[in-house]
Amino acid sequence: MFDSPTTASLQSLLQARWHVDRAITDARNNSVGAWEGNAIFRPHNLHLLYTESGILDLDGMQIETTREYRYVSTGAWAMNVQFTDGRPFHDLDLSSGQCSVEHHCGNDHYRGEFQTGIDNLSIAWRITGPHKDLYINSRYELVERL
The CATH number that applies at residue 108 is 2.40.128.20
For residue 6, what pLDDT is reported? 53
118: nearest Cα among 92, 140, 93, 90:
140
The residues, any chain, with a CB within 8 Å of residue 91's CB and separated by 6 or more, are 74, 78, 79, 80, 81, 101
108: nearest Cα among 125, 87, 132:
132
Is residue 1 in some structural domain? no
For residue 111, what pLDDT is reported? 98
Q: How many domains does the chain have?
A: 1
The residues, any chain, with a CB within 8 Å of residue 117's CB and separated by 6 or more, are 97
Strand, helix or coil for residue 94 = coil
Is residue 5 in some structural domain? no
For residue 2, what pLDDT is reported? 47
| Cβ–Cβ under 8 Å, residues 143 and 18 | yes
Residue ranges making up the domain that contains 66: 10-145
In order along its 146 residues, the chain shows pLDDT tens digits of: 444 445 689 999 999 999 999 999 999 999 999 999 999 999 998 899 999 999 999 988 999 999 999 999 999 999 999 999 999 999 999 999 999 999 999 999 999 999 998 899 999 999 999 999 999 999 999 999 99
Is residue 4 in some structural domain? no
For residue 7, what pLDDT is reported? 61
Is residue 120 in some structural domain? yes
